[in-house]
Structure 1
Amino acid sequence: MTHTIADIAAALGLDAAGDTSLAVTGVAEPADAAPDQLAMAMKPEYAEALPKGRARAAMLWAEADWQGMGLDAAILAPRPRYALSALSEMMDPGQGYPRGIHPMSVIDPSARLGADVSVGPFSVIGADVVIGDGTVIGPQTHVGWGTSIGAGSLLHAGAKIGARCTIGARFIAHFNSVIGNDGFSFVTPEASGVERARESLGDQGEAKGQPWARIASLGGVTIGDDVEVGASAAIDRGTVRDTRIGNGTKLDNHVQVGHNTVVGRHTLLCGQVGIAGSVSIGDFVVLAGQVGVSDNIRIGDNVICGGSTIVLSSIPAGRVMLGYPAMKMDQHLETYKALRRLPRLAREVADLRKAVSKETPSG
């Protein structure tokens, strides 16, 4: 693919300067850029590496002195990283999945595939499945009975979609992601130590072991439009009602969403987030890497939880949380500072005890 600087700027709605007829075939970091590549020098510290490469054009911040950098052309963006979103889509060559229905795929006769749907080799499309126009289903994928997937979606190789799931348009499932597996739901004949743990605070008394009976997952998974699910992520189906993921929400790799959970719109669940069952998460929430969320709690809109935060109780809207257990970020940082002072405080207390002991008369 070849694009002129003028074409790129027009597509992104940005200003271009210099020789805008200059053509580029891709993007690169400043130090590695060839003459036919657009250097991603989006911050002054990145631009310092331009002399190490051979770029003739670069993506720069709005006030950048592109001529002083020795460039022939530049695209000037008020928010370069945001501009990179559309630029990367323009430059993406894709995964090379072939068009059409591969003869080594298996498609049930009752399945309905829209126009221009592609299905890769060794993929299985179950009974009563509906696939929207322009969807690409990579090799070795599975779409279960009664599931519907909206138009313009992409299932990468190895993705698995269970039965009776409802998925919106422009859905992306990355390699080996799983949507609609059964929830982790088991029960004992009598109340177990797990059920009594919160009221007993860990004192089980004379606990006895009991076998676990499986609760089948009768619900499905409902996913809105423009949702993306990362590699090896899993979304469990609901016990009775559906597990739900709102429009525009993005799941990173190795994210676990438990049964009956409801996730709102445009929420980010970053790598290794684990969400237990029956949790309610609002809109525009960000859970950073390795956040854990206990069952049956609510997280309000616009909440941010920092990395490795463990959420054990509900969080009101707008809070920024950190730590284990989760607390407001400013409180956590104050507690952390106090924790670091403890060794010094212990030494000071020991010195004071010695001083007091020496001054206290014997007998």
Structure 2
Amino acid sequence: MTYTIKQIADALGAKAVGDVDIVIHSLAEPAAASADQLALALKPEFANTLTEGHAKAALLWSDAPWQEYGLSGAILASRPRFAMAGLSAMMDADVDFEAGVHPSAVVHPDAVLGDGVSIGPLCVIEAGAQIAAGGRLCAQVFIGRDALIGENVYLREGVRIGARTRIGANFIAQPGATVGGDGFSFVTPEQGAVERVRDSLGDQGETQAQSWARIHSLGAVQIGDNVELGANTCVDRGNVRDTVIGNGCKFDNLAQIGHNVVIGDDCLICAQVGVAGSTRIGNNVVLGGQTGVSDNVFIGDNVITGGATKVLSNVPAGRVMLGYPAVKMDKQIELHKLLRRLPRLFKDVATLQKGVSKSHDSD
């Protein structure tokens, strides 16, 4: 894909300056850019390395002194990193597919494929599944029976979509993502140690060996528009009601969303986050990497958790949380500072004890 500086700027709503007819074939970091590449110099410290490369043009901030960097032309954006979203989409050649069904794919006669759908090698589409127009399925994708998939989805290699799942438009799933696996729901014939520990906060009581009985997952998964799942992320279907994910949510790799979870709109779920069953999460929530969320809790709108936070109880809207158990971030930082002072405090106490002891001995 090739574009002129002007074409790129117009598409991004940015400003083209200098020689706007420079043709760009691809993108590069400033020090490695060749003459036909657009250098990504989003801030001054990046732009300072432009002289190490051979770029004629660069993406810069709105008031950048572009001529001082020896450039022939530039694209000036008020928020260059946001401009990167549109620019990377324009230059991404990996998303081009030819419509049609690969000969090795297995598509049930009762499945419905919309206009322009591309089905890759070894895909399996079961009875009653519907894939709307523009869908792109890479190799070895599985779509379960009666699943409904919206327009312009992009399912990477090995994605698995379970039966009766409902997915909106512009859905993206990275390799190995799974939607609609059974929930992790088991029960013992009599109250077990885990239940007693939960009630007593530590006391198992009298333990006895029991086998686990499986509670089957009869629900499904509903996913809104413009949602993205990272590689090997899993979203379990509900026990009776559906697991629900709102519009615009983005998931990193290796996230786990348990059965019956409800997530609002525009949430950001980072890598290795685990959300236990029946938890409710509001809108615009950000869960930092390795955050763990206990079951049956509520997280309000606009909550942010730092990395490795463990949420064990409800979190009001707007809170920034950190630690195990999760507390307000400023309080957690204060506690950490106090904890670091403990060795010195113990040393001071030991010195005082010695002084008191010597004083008693002298008496």
The TM-score with structure 2 as length reference comes to 0.98
Match of 2:216 in 1: 216
**Which is further off, 199-208 or 244-253?**
199-208
Displacement of 1:198: 2.6
Matched, 1:20 2:20: yes
Match of 2:169 in 1: 169
Matched, 1:282 2:297: no
| C-alpha contact 1:97 1:120 (8 A) present in aligned 2 | no
Matched letter for residue 121 of structure 1: P
Displacement of 1:220: 0.2
Displacement of 1:362: 6.2
1:280 and 1:362 mapped to 2: Cα distance? 66
Gaps of 5+ in 2: none
Matched, 1:126 2:121: no
Matched, 1:108 2:108: yes
1:241 and 1:169 mapped to 2: Cα distance? 22
2:360 and 2:53 mapped to 1: Cα distance? 75
Displacement of 1:206: 2.0
1:74 and 1:328 mapped to 2: Cα distance? 44
| C-alpha contact 1:98 1:120 (8 A) present in aligned 2 | no
**Which string of whole-angstrom CA distances, capped at 9 and with x for unpartnered residues, describes residues 60-109 of structure 1?**
01111001111111111111000100000001011565431111100111
2:231 and 2:213 mapped to 1: Cα distance? 31
Match of 2:234 in 1: 234
Match of 1:46 in 2: 46
Q: Which runs of 4+ in 1 moved over 6 A?
A: none
Matched, 1:147 2:147: yes
Matched letter for residue 143 of structure 2: V
**Which string of whole-angstrom CA distances, capped at 9 and with x for unpartnered residues, describes residues 161-187 of structure 1?**
011100111111110110000000000
Displacement of 1:209: 1.9
Displacement of 1:195: 1.2
Match of 1:360 in 2: 360
Match of 2:303 in 1: 303
Matched letter for residue 186 of structure 1: F
Match of 2:191 in 1: 191
**Which is further off, 333-342 or 97-106?**
97-106
Q: Counterpart of 1:67 in 2: which secondary structure?
A: helix
Match of 1:337 in 2: 337
| C-alpha contact 2:248 2:266 (8 A) present in aligned 1 | yes
Q: Counterpart of 2:342 in 1: which secondary structure?
A: helix
Displacement of 1:253: 0.4
1:215 and 1:23 mapped to 2: Cα distance? 60
Matched letter for residue 165 of structure 1: T
Q: Counterpart of 1:240 in 2: which secondary structure?
A: coil
| C-alpha contact 2:194 2:204 (8 A) present in aligned 1 | no
1:175 and 1:361 mapped to 2: Cα distance? 74
Displacement of 1:228: 0.5
* Identity %, equivalent residues: 56
Q: Counterpart of 1:203 in 2: which secondary structure?
A: coil
Displacement of 1:205: 2.6
**Which string of whole-angstrom CA distances, capped at 9 and with x for unpartnered residues, describes residues 91-148 of structure 1?**
1011565431111100111111111111011100000001100101111110001100
2:328 and 2:20 mapped to 1: Cα distance? 50
1:27 and 1:72 mapped to 2: Cα distance? 16
Gaps of 5+ in 1: none
Q: Counterpart of 1:158 in 2: which secondary structure?
A: coil
Q: Counterpart of 2:101 in 1: which secondary structure?
A: coil
Displacement of 1:49: 1.0
**Which string of whole-angstrom CA distances, capped at 9 and with x for unpartnered residues, describes residues 270-323 of structure 1?**
000011000001100000110000000000000000100010011000000011
Displacement of 1:361: 3.9
Matched letter for residue 15 of structure 1: K
Q: Matched residue pairs, number?
A: 363
2:302 and 2:119 mapped to 1: Cα distance? 38
Task: Compute the RMSD of aligned alpha carbons.
Answer: 1.0
1:95 and 1:208 mapped to 2: Cα distance? 56
Match of 2:293 in 1: 293
Q: Counterpart of 2:39 in 1: which secondary structure?
A: strand
